[in-house]
């Protein structure tokens, strides 16, 4: 969603906290002081396609001019809702109550307005609950209503349906209240990371968009930077190769680590995702929260992002982990270490994890039966990992950090910890002990520097971890020294114990227990010599359809057209004429609907005795859309922008969707790519490489390839792409690309695989993945036999929330037979001899056939236990691969 407020550090910050607290992903924050010009703000509003908007501003009884001014930017911008033109965009107004009437007038068209209590009724008060509740209700009503099966689910369920973040927050609040403790919970997913905290009874929740371990893994690396990730690793790995691994995970998000080095790297990325999410959480979990709290005027105006954070790691009692990378780590020491490294708890903290992602369900149960939820939480949901003892402070390696004494039934020990060391002591599930820690004078355990503390500690699957690395953690400047230091940590806690991989004989015995068929976890990319395609060609807003049902169309023929609202030009006449906003309408000499040209007079003051008049001439051309007596602002709208929808592929119109577009059907050769850049384009296929394993370099591209679709073999280089742009090629298709080259071409590090709007001047499609990878042989042969044909390509890619893959569409006629390789099988099913591609290191890009489908899960080198299959390669080697790490090659066999 999008939020807007008058002052970025005050009402806009409060609006953002309300949205984050409701579990929303905040796409942007619009404010009068966000350092963007009004036309830039309007353009940004128009670019976004939010599910809803939250608008705040002004204190109750105060001036309404400023919040109305923000509203006057949003209303004419007319942002298009994500779910289509027939859908009115929900807008929640939670600002100065005296401006409610103005909001109803401004948003009476194109928006579904909800007015709730002001989220900042006074400067010293923040009232977030009404806005949060409205966001929650609108999310269920407008967003979840589009989810398949949701309406049926409502009929089945007796209890209210809750979004997952809200449910997790409920159970954590219940825990904190029941045990009177301070709690932090984290749920790290594929796209986002949710952080929850309860400190001194105050609950906060934030959702860190695009900090996840699959769909958003590339964005984690972009925000954290690769050196920050690699500092957590004790193995020497090539950064260029790691960058390609990240992008391959982004475009194939369901793969899992097979090798130990892949696991180490993925857990290093997780540390940074968790760290960044926690930093964001602390910035918005501030003293000025949902309950009313009195603050001095000086405090109010000194706030940076809304006050001092209430998150205090020294007060933290319980840290709870959830999400695949944490809950399903092969060894619980790894989970504990990721939590400790990312959150850096201080003093004595208990660590735990959600066993089977049960917390959301218990959060719903807590609404109905709190005690039952707590009982299940303790007995079946929460798995204790143990406790960590970590003093705050800095020191010199080898010097004494603290002395300790542990007294318990099963663990009785005393000793001394040197700075930089870690120790693991056995303390099992259900066991407790008492620890006395006496830090040296430069370290603090919560009672003050050098002060002794005694605390109860809880055992678990891992035990008791003594952490003398200090807080905050520090790293060595030189990479080699840093690797040595991290290796010491790994060794001291046995983070990555050596796995015993089953020998060949035992594997052979288990292989006898095989299945004949199995579901593929990753949908395969389609490559078909001949297929019947149906494509919807739809306008973004209602318009005119220019073709009829049954009509034959060509790829570049316009089949529908409409006009998007023109650009908006806000002019603050009150400022220009130096008068109160309420006096402006008397001076305006134009009316709503008038056509204005550059230089026309918009307003003129009365002057004194008819003299000393001030005139204001328009710097823009357009139509007068609004004249505001509240803000003294006049808004001009420029000429509408035409939007044309092309047929994209030759075929027949099989259906006309009134005022929206058409459905076109055609017989074509069809190839799906795995990733692309740029939108729709057209051209004749021209081969630049003679084989699928030949790298596409600049010297293979020539002037006569202008306006063509250039076909490479293996990796396309940045020089080749630049050469293609220089000669005016329409598109480039090849097996792979190096992420370093992609960053160089784009000028930025691509964080999330949502592409298609780039304006490079050429469309790029890769068919296999990132790195040095050859194009699949049959894909190359299909393109080779299609040389000279006019082709339509589209690089648009979207991996999450409705998968879109790049497409190559080559028209064919009835003379083109269905290839022998275009086999008929159930989509997504694996069988013996099914052609597959391995889509994760260490065998990434290799192609083979399914040799067997063992029924039982097997242990991988990484320690993960999962379902596997055996793949026979072209040289008859047999590899054991996780089923999640292969995809069926749809539409053709392996030669």
Question: What pLDDT does residue 292 have?
Answer: 42
Which of 71-85, 618-632, 741-755 shows the lowest mean pLDDT across its residues? 71-85
Question: What pLDDT does residue 823 have?
Answer: 45
In a domain, 821, yes or no: no
Same domain assignment for residues 511 and 481: no
Residue 816: which pLDDT band, with cuts at 50, 70 and 90? Answer: low
What the block records as the tokens of 656 is 């006309």
Question: What pLDDT does residue 420 have?
Answer: 96
- Final residue before a domain boundary, out of 639, 656, 675: 639
In a domain, 822, yes or no: no
What's the domain count of the chain?
A: 5
Same domain assignment for residues 409 and 488: yes
Question: What pLDDT does residue 155 have?
Answer: 80
In a domain, 519, yes or no: yes
DSSP per-residue codes, 369-428? -HHHHHHHIIIIIEEEEEEEEE-EE---TTSEEEEEEEEESS--EEEEEETT-EEEE---
Question: What pLDDT does residue 515 have?
Answer: 64
Angle between helices 11-21 and 260-284 (to 10 degrees): 130
What the block records as the tokens of 671 is 């190839």
Residue 298 has pLDDT above 90, yes or no: no
Q: What is the 3-state secondary structure (H, E, C) of 80-101?
A: CCCCCCCCCEEEEECCCHHHHH
CB contact at 8 A, 56 and 92: no
Higher pLDDT, 444 or 509: 444
CB contact at 8 A, 797 and 806: yes
Extended beta strands in 763-839, E state? 763-770, 790-794, 807-811, 829-831, 835-838
In a domain, 197, yes or no: yes
Residue 819: which pLDDT band, with cuts at 50, 70 and 90? Answer: low
Residue 48 has pLDDT above 90, yes or no: no
- Final residue before a domain boundary, out of 473, 493, 513: 493
DSSP 686: E
Same domain assignment for residues 381 and 460: yes
What phi, psi does 180 have (nearest 5°)? 55, 55
Question: What pLDDT does residue 169 have?
Answer: 85
What the block records as the tokens of 631 is 């803000």
Q: Please report, rounded to a whole number, the percentage of residues in the chain having pLDDT higher than 70.
A: 91
Distance CA 367, CA 373 (A): 9
Question: What pLDDT does residue 482 have?
Answer: 96
Distance CA 446, CA 315 (A): 8
Residue 457: which pLDDT band, with cuts at 50, 70 and 90? Answer: very high
Distance CA 263, CA 257 (A): 5
Question: What pLDDT does residue 305 have?
Answer: 42
CB contact at 8 A, 845 and 769: yes
- Cα dist from 837 to 43, 518, 525, 769, 888, whole Å: 43, 16, 10, 11, 6
Please, what is the average pLDDT of the chain? Answer: 88
Model-level pTM? 0.85
- pLDDT tens-digit readout, 857-888: 999 999 999 999 999 998 899 999 999 999 88
Same domain assignment for residues 718 and 700: yes
In a domain, 699, yes or no: yes
Same domain assignment for residues 411 and 425: yes
Question: What pLDDT does residue 827 have?
Answer: 55
In a domain, 484, yes or no: yes
- pLDDT tens-digit readout, 211-267: 999 999 999 999 999 999 999 999 999 999 999 999 999 999 999 999 999 999 999
Residue 294: which pLDDT band, with cuts at 50, 70 and 90? Answer: very low
- pLDDT tens-digit readout, 461-512: 999 999 999 999 999 999 999 999 999 999 999 999 876 655 545 545 544 5
**SS3 for 723?**
helix
Same domain assignment for residues 548 and 657: yes
In a domain, 817, yes or no: no
Distance CA 763, CA 258 (A): 33
Residue 715 has pLDDT above 60, yes or no: yes
Distance CA 890, CA 870 (A): 19
Residue 146 has pLDDT above 60, yes or no: yes
Q: Report the alpha-carbon angle 633-637-640, nearest 5.
A: 170
Percentages helix, strand, coil for the chain (3-state, rounded to 5) are 30, 30, 40
Angle between helices 239-251 and 260-284 (to 10 degrees): 70
Question: What pLDDT does residue 297 have?
Answer: 35
Contacting residues for 728 by C-beta, under 8 A, at least 6 apart: 706, 707, 761
The enclosing domain of 533 has a CATH number of: 3.50.30.10
The enclosing domain of 613 has a CATH number of: 2.40.50
Distance CA 110, CA 80 (A): 9
Question: What pLDDT does residue 404 have?
Answer: 97
Start-to-end CA span in the chain (Å): 49
Alpha helices in 460-513 (DSSP H): 479-493, 504-511
Contacting residues for 334 by C-beta, under 8 A, at least 6 apart: 267, 495, 496
Same domain assignment for residues 75 and 221: no
CB contact at 8 A, 6 and 299: no
Strands 183-188 and 318-322, by their bridges, are: parallel
Same domain assignment for residues 304 and 392: yes
Contacting residues for 159 by C-beta, under 8 A, at least 6 apart: 364, 367, 368
In a domain, 499, yes or no: no
Same domain assignment for residues 576 and 707: no
Which of 600-609, 633-642, 684-693 shows the lowest mean pLDDT across its residues? 600-609
Distance CA 866, CA 881 (A): 10
816's enclosing H/E stretch is none
The enclosing domain of 19 has a CATH number of: 3.40.50.360
- pLDDT tens-digit readout, 380-423: 888 999 999 999 999 999 999 999 999 999 999 999 999 999 99
Distance CA 635, CA 640 (A): 15
Same domain assignment for residues 575 and 629: yes
Q: Report the alpha-carbon angle 477-482-485, nearest 5.
A: 135
Domain with 520 in it: 504-524+828-888
Distance CA 673, CA 696 (A): 17
Same domain assignment for residues 175 and 141: no
- Final residue before a domain boundary, out of 595, 618, 639: 639
Question: What pLDDT does residue 818 have?
Answer: 53
Distance CA 32, CA 38 (A): 8
- pLDDT tens-digit readout, 327-382: 999 999 999 999 999 999 999 999 999 988 888 888 888 888 888 888 888 888 88
- pLDDT tens-digit readout, 543-585: 999 999 999 999 999 999 998 888 888 888 988 888 888 888 8
Same domain assignment for residues 169 and 136: no
Mean pLDDT of the region 730-737: 97
């Amino acid at each position: 969603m999008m939020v807007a407020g008058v002052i970025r550090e005050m009402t806009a910050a409060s609006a953002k906290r309300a949205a984050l607290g409701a579990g929303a992903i905040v796409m942007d924050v619009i404010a009068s002081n966000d350092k963007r010009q009004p036309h830039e703000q309007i353009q940004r509003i128009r670019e976004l396609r939010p599910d809803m908007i939250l608008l705040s501003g002004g204190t109750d009884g105060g001036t309404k001019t400023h919040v109305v001014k923000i509203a006057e930017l949003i209303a004419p911008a007319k942002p298009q809702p994500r779910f289509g033109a027939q859908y009115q965009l929900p807008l929640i107004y939670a600002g100065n109550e005296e401006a409610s009437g103005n909001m109803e007038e401004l948003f009476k068209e194109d928006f579904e307005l909800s007015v709730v209590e002001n989220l900042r009724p006074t400067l010293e008060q923040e009232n977030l609950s009404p806005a949060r509740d409205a966001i929650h209700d609108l999310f269920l009503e407008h967003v979840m209503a589009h989810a398949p099966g949701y309406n049926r689910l409502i009929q089945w369920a007796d209890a209210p349906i809750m979004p997952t973040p809200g449910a997790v927050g409920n159970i954590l609040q219940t825990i904190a209240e029941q045990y009177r403790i301070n709690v932090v919970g984290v749920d790290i997913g594929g796209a986002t990371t949710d952080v929850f905290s309860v400190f001194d009874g105050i609950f906060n929740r934030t959702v860190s968009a695009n900090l996840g371990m699959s769909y958003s893994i590339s964005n984690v690396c972009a925000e954290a930077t690769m050196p920050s990730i690699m500092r957590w690793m004790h193995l020497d790995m090539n950064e260029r190769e790691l960058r390609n691994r990240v992008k391959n995970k982004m475009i194939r998000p369901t793969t899992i680590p097979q090798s130990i080095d892949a696991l180490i790297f993925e857990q290093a990325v997780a540390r940074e995702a968790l760290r960044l999410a926690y930093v964001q959480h602390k910035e918005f979990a501030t003293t000025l929260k949902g309950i009313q709290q009195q603050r001095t005027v000086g405090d109010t105006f000194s706030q940076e992002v809304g006050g001092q954070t209430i998150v205090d790691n020294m007060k933290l009692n319980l840290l709870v982990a959830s999400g695949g990378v944490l809950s399903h780590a092969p060894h619980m020491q790894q989970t504990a270490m990721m939590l400790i490294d990312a959150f850096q708890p201080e003093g004595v903290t208990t660590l735990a994890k959600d066993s089977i992602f049960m917390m959301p369900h218990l959060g719903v149960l807590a609404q109905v039966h709190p005690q039952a939820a707590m009982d299940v939480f303790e007995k079946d949901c929460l798995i204790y990992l143990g406790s960590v003892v970590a003093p705050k402070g800095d020191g010199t390696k080898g010097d004494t950090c603290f002395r300790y004494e542990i007294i318990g039934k099963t663990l009785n020990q005393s000793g001394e910890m040197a700075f930089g060391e870690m120790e693991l002591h056995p303390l099992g599930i259900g066991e407790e002990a008492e620890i006395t820690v006496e830090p040296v004078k430069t370290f603090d355990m919560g009672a003050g520097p050098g002060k002794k503390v005694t605390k109860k500690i809880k055992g678990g699957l891992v035990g008791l971890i003594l952490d003398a690395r200090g807080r905050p953690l520090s790293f060595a400047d030189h990479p080699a020294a840093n690797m040595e230091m991290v290796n010491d940590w790994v060794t001291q806690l046995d983070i990555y114990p050596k796995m015993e991989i089953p020998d060949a004989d035992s594997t052979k015995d288990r292989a006898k227990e095989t299945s004949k068929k199995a579901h593929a976890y990753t949908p395969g990319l389609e490559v078909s010599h001949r297929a019947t395609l149906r494509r919807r060609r739809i306008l973004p807003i209602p318009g005119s359809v220019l073709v009829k049902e049954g009509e034959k169309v060509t790829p570049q023929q316009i089949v529908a057209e409409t006009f998007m609202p023109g650009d908006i030009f806000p002019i603050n006449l009150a400022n220009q004429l130096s008068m109160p906003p309420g006096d402006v309408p008397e001076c305006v000499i134009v009316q709503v609907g008038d056509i204005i040209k550059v230089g026309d007079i918009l307003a003129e003051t009365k002057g004194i005795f008819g003299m000393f008049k001030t005139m204001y001439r328009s710097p823009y051309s357009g139509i007068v859309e609004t004249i505001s007596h509240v803000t003294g602002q006049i808004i001009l709208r420029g000429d509408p922008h035409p939007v044309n929808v092309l047929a994209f592929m030759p075929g027949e119109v099989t259906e006309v969707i009134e005022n929206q577009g058409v459905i076109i059907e055609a017989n074509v050769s069809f190839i799906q790519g795995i990733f692309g850049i740029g939108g729709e384009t057209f051209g004749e296929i021209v081969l630049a490489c003679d084989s699928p394993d030949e790298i596409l370099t600049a010297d293979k591209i020539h002037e006569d390839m202008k306006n063509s679709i250039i076909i490479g073999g293996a990796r396309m280089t940045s020089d080749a792409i630049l050469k293609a742009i220089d000669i005016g090629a329409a598109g480039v298709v090849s097996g792979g690309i190096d992420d370093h080259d992609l960053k160089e071409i784009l000028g930025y590090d691509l964080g999330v695989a949502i592409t298609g709007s780039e304006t490079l001047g050429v469309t790029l499609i890769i068919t296999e993945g990132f790195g040095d990878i050859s194009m699949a042989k049959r894909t190359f042969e299909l393109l080779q036999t299609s040389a000279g044909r006019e082709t339509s390509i589209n690089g648009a890619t979207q991996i999450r929330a409705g998968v879109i893959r790049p497409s190559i569409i080559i028209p064919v006629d009835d003379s083109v037979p269905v290839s022998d390789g275009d086999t008929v099988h159930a989509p997504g099913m694996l069988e013996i001899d099914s052609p597959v591609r391995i889509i994760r290191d260490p065998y990434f890009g290799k192609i083979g056939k399914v040799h067997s489908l063992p029924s039982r899960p097997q242990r991988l080198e990484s320690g993960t236990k999962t379902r596997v299959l055996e793949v026979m390669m072209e040289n008859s080697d047999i590899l054991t691969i996780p089923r999640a790490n292969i995809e069926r090659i749809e539409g053709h066999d392996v030669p």
